[in-house]
Amino acid sequence: MGNYEQADFDGSADAGWAALCRIGGAATFILMAYSLATMVQLVVLGGQPTTAAEAFGLLQSSRVLGLLRLDLPTVLALPLYYIVFSGLFAALRRSDAAYATLSTSFAFIGVTLLLATPTALSMLSLSEKYAAATTGPARVNFLAAGEAVLATDIWHETGAIIGGILLQGGAVLISVTMLRSSVFTKTVAYVGIVTHGLDLAHGLIGPLVPRAGLVLMAIAGPLYLIWFPLVGRRLLQLGDRRTFPAVSDR
């Protein structure tokens, strides 16, 4: 258990930081909804197609289903981390500016690297060209291009893997920063360290031992449904009040 420290927002500048906390809190709850929807999707619809032919077939039979299984929602949700970490920086900048800045920088660079990789939209374009192709060699070329996109997508490309490691490393570091301050409770900090620590281990171990990576991801996934609302609730509190009395939490 721990106590929240006093946090005063005075003047227009601090009012802006408070608003950033509020927006970050809202983004956190959107990410929680995305995480829950992704878990349901994996069970109901299945995971990513394993071949370009399968992906093209999905996109041609149902564009929506194909884009969902090719992780378009992930691409749309990732920019929300910019907002969440901006809110966390606003909340923690007075407690430990150095760590708050470093962790936010890691997360921003990580998200940018992830967004720079080929996405479902690339496969959609190739699928349309594949369907319109009238010769065998042309279709073979489009299938080869599709396989290249799958091999360098958000889960497999080197830049994306480094991006994921930086994002999760930043999340672990921001959780450690929470532990060193009293803006967030120790419960929030420890849940963040475990959740993002497991996901960081998944990013480091997954490319080498895929089965172990899947186990780590399966454990970390449900923990996000705990971490997101804890962080989101606190950020909304920081955004809604000018002065925060000590509040204990277990």
- The structure's pTM equals 0.85
pLDDT for the residue numbered 184 = 94
Distance between CA atoms of residues 109 and 163, nearest Å: 7
Using one digit for the tens of pLDDT, what is the confidence trace for 165-206?
A: 999 999 999 999 999 898 999 999 999 999 999 999 988 888
Q: For residue 117, how many other CB atoms are within 10 A of its CB?
A: 20
Dihedral-angle region of residue 46 (phi above 0 means left; psi in -120 to 50 means alpha; beta otherwise): left
Structure tokens of 27?
């983004």
Length of the chain: 250
Question: Which residues in the chain land under pLDDT 50?
Answer: 1-3, 5-12, 243-250
What residues does each domain of the chain span?
Answer: 8-240
Distance between CA atoms of residues 97 and 244, nearest Å: 20
Structure tokens of 139?
């279709």
pLDDT for the residue numbered 49 = 87
Residues 6+ apart with CB under 8 A from 56: 123, 126, 127, 130, 131, 142, 143, 146
Cα–Cα distances in angstroms (integers) from residue 127 to residues 2, 54, 148, 237, in the given order: 54, 10, 13, 46
Question: Quick one: angle between helices 136-151 and 52-61, nearest 10?
Answer: 100
